[in-house]
A = this chain, B = another copy of it.
Amino acid sequence: MKFRRSERLIDMTNYLLEHPRQLVSLSFFADRYGSAKSSISEDLAIIKETFEQRGIGTLQTVPGAAGGVKFFVRVSKEEATPIVEDLCALMANPERLLPGGYLYMTDILGDPSVVQKAGRLLASAYADTKIDVVMTVATKGIPLAYAVASQLNVPVVIVRRDTKVTEGSTVSINYVSGSTKRIQTMVLSKRSLEEGSNVLIVDDFMKAGGTVNGMISMLEEFRATVAGIAVLVEAQQQEDRLIDDYLSLVQLSDVDLKEKTIKVTAGNYFDRLYN
């Protein structure tokens, strides 16, 4: 069965989007469509151009016999700006204010389209970094961690607060919560992380950074390396923040419980990525 170019472009687009950071050989596509490799090359050139123009991502060509093409998500500044602005507007709604100055974010984190956009932005920042695993802590960070991991084509490991029988044997650590200074526990299944892994830590919210710091201690137990730290929202600048090398999409600059106002600005994402 032969495929026309238009059909190939549609199917290849879907295939590449579903297989980010995976090397796909030209022969694979040539066989799939019963087409010459030269036609496939032309198709890929069109896809690359369109992906870049529309801010979808880019294709990298790996030459040689073992070569092929890899899709990387890459979001342009023009594309990222309205996504972060929308996130800021969502966060600034004063109805989010909860007793104690906490913010209700469950609806934002429950919306797959929001989470996927945020995940694409963060993944875009690490597309060229060697990352083997995304790590997060249960529960709220999980959706964002998956959104990032699916764009990076790596598995997710989830640190828990408690042991569960279905995890098998586990490693447990104690850490100090940055804001409340309370001792807390984190548990990770022994089988879930290989020694020497390069790990991107992802979480929904960072205040003083105690939880992230706990994850870093956990990585030390597994002799794994921190390849990056990315959060959706960081609380207003803390003097005693435990973490300084991280990426954030949104920053709470001022939460006023009395006046019921939340001031939200873009996180350090643009400064770090586009300057």
**Interface residues of A, Cβ cutoff 8 Å to B:** 5-7, 9-11, 13-14, 17-18, 46-47, 49-51, 53-54, 56, 98-100, 102-107, 110-113, 115-116, 138-140, 142-143, 146-147, 149-150, 153-158, 160, 165-168, 189, 191-192
CB-CB under 8 A from A147, the residues of chain B are 146
B10 touches A115 (CB 8 A): no
* Shortest CB distance A233–B (Å): 12
A189 touches B156 (CB 8 A): no
* Shortest CB distance A24–B (Å): 14
With A103-B166, A104-B168, A138-B139 as given contacts, are A158 and B110 in contact (CB-CB < 8 Å)? yes
B160 touches A139 (CB 8 A): yes
B140 touches A143 (CB 8 A): no
B102 touches A166 (CB 8 A): yes
CB-CB under 8 A from A149, the residues of chain B are 112
Identify A116's interface contact among B98, B150, B154, CB under 8 A: B150
